[in-house]
Amino acid sequence: MKEWGEYAAVWAILKMLGALPRGMARGLAAAVASALYGMLPRLRRTAEFNLGLAFPEWDDTRRREVIRGMVRNLGWMAAEFAHFPRYTRENIEEALILDGHDNFLNGQRRGKGVLYLTGHIGAWELSSFAHALYGFPLHYMARPLDNARVDALVNHYRCLSGNKPIFKNESARALLKILKDAGTVGILADQNTMPEEGVFVDFFGKSACTTTGIARVALHTDAAVVPGYAYWDSSIAKYRLRFEPAVELIRTGDTERDVFVNTQKFAKVIEAIIRKHPEQWVWAHARWKTRPKGEAELYK
């Protein structure tokens, strides 16, 4: 019953926001996000701690400003997600435009596939959805939600523009096949990772356990690693889906060393994007939770 109740609630919210004009839906979702955030002290403490760690030179006023922007951004993205069924190739430019798209096309022209390197920045759900509407569908790595019905609903929305999921139990084989066929795979690479799946690299001046999967796959397949992210540009009141030049891989012949060095490069790319748009990253995630052996926990 609980599973059905959660599904019904999510479905009702999506339908309600999706039925409203986009501006009204974004405003309402931002207000709800602000109210919910105020009721979740653990998330507040995590966001405040992370900002203090990443930007120790900032004062409390600046950090509060960034947190307000983060919460608003999350609400806006929920509204955009609810509007997925209404977006088409003909109207998507009202919400999002491409920026630096030649960088993606250059990576694609290599013919070895593209690893779309991104993170929980701006409208990350909208970025891949809109790119598919522009004619460039991709496969995305899907981490199943606890509620199977909600998970199916969310993936249904994500796939409306032509994208397809790669589920964990099929990820390695499917990913290699897609890249062999010169396809594109989107990977969120900015979250905490368990030690067996990652290495510790510098992220905002602090060791952060980071997935090595992208580096291993890129080194094995020679796929282009192209950073992409959709950020809100207030000057045009739209999102820009910005693509940066492909990250050139370091190859020395020492596999584990190459995996580490390239994972560090990817982390620094993500960090640089966040530094440009700090109010559009999810600071409430415990990014530095996993610690090197013998090091004390950071999150109490």
- Closest Cα to residue 158, out of 144, 146, 172? 144
Q: Provide CB contacts within 8 A for 94, sequence distance 6+.
A: 238
Contact 115, 224 (CB under 8 A): yes
Give the residue carrying structure tokens 């409208």: 123
For 40-77, how does the pLDDT look when each residue is reduced to its tens digit (9 = 90+)?
A: 999 999 999 999 999 999 999 999 999 999 999 999 99
Q: Does the residue 289 lie in any domain?
A: no
Q: Does the residue 56 lie in any domain?
A: yes
Q: Does the residue 299 lie in any domain?
A: no
Number of domains in the chain: 1
Least confident of 2-11, 58-67, 223-232: 2-11
Give the residue carrying structure tokens 């909600």: 150
The parent domain of residue 58 ranges over: 2-280
**pLDDT value at position 169?**
66
- Closest Cα to residue 224, out of 112, 105, 140, 99? 112
Exposed / middle / buried, residue 182 (Cβ in 10 Å: 0-12, 13-18, 19+): middle
Helix (H) or strand (E) holding 215: helix 213-221
How far apart CA 120 and CA 28 sit, in angstroms, is: 21
Query: Distances from the Cα of 74 to the Cαs of 79, 95, 136, in angstroms?
Result: 9, 16, 25
Question: Which is it for strands 238-243 and 96-99: parallel, antiparallel or unpaired?
Answer: parallel
For 112-154, how does the pLDDT look when each residue is reduced to its tens digit (9 = 90+)?
A: 999 999 999 999 999 999 999 999 999 998 888 889 999 999 9
How far apart CA 2 and CA 72 sit, in angstroms, is: 28
Provide the sign of the torsion angle of the four alpha carbons 24, 28, 34, 36, taken in this order: negative
Q: Does the residue 291 lie in any domain?
A: no
Q: Provide CB contacts within 8 A for 140, sequence distance 6+.
A: 128, 158, 163, 164, 165, 166, 185, 186, 187
Phi, psi at residue 229, to the nearest 5°? -160, 145
pLDDT band at 1 (very low <50, low <70, confident <90, very high): low
Q: Does the residue 89 lie in any domain?
A: yes
pTM, 2 dp:
0.95
**pLDDT value at position 145?**
86
Q: Does the residue 285 lie in any domain?
A: no
Contact 122, 232 (CB under 8 A): yes
For 254-282, how does the pLDDT look when each residue is reduced to its tens digit (9 = 90+)?
A: 999 999 999 999 999 999 999 999 999 99
Q: Does the residue 300 lie in any domain?
A: no
Q: Does the residue 297 lie in any domain?
A: no
